[in-house]
Amino acid sequence: MVNAGYNPTALPSFFLKMYEANPRQPIKFLSTHPPQPDRVNNMSDYLQAFPLDRELAIDSSDAFKIMKARY
């Protein structure tokens, strides 16, 4: 996301919203993805150590239109 110019600091809140919408989580060892609470914690820890010293976009309607047209 950073390399594309997007600000990744919203990811923990995105994962938290996903968890609040569906608090039932699959059994950890049977899942292909980490549980949402783990994803929130992991991403928060990662972002604290990540240098965000340049201005990054929060969202881009142009990028969304391009991706929507591709798929």
Sequence spans of domains, the chain: 8-70
Tell me 9's DSSP state: G
Prediction pTM value:
0.53
Residue 47 confidence (pLDDT): 80
Q: Please state, in angstroms and rounded to a whole number, the distance separating the CA atoms of residues 70 and 64.
A: 10
Q: What is the pLDDT of residues 4-63, one digit of tens each?
A: 767 777 788 888 888 888 888 878 888 888 888 888 888 888 887 766 665 656 566 776
Contact 5, 37 (CB under 8 A): no
- Residue 67: pLDDT over 80: no
Structure tokens at 37: 């609470």
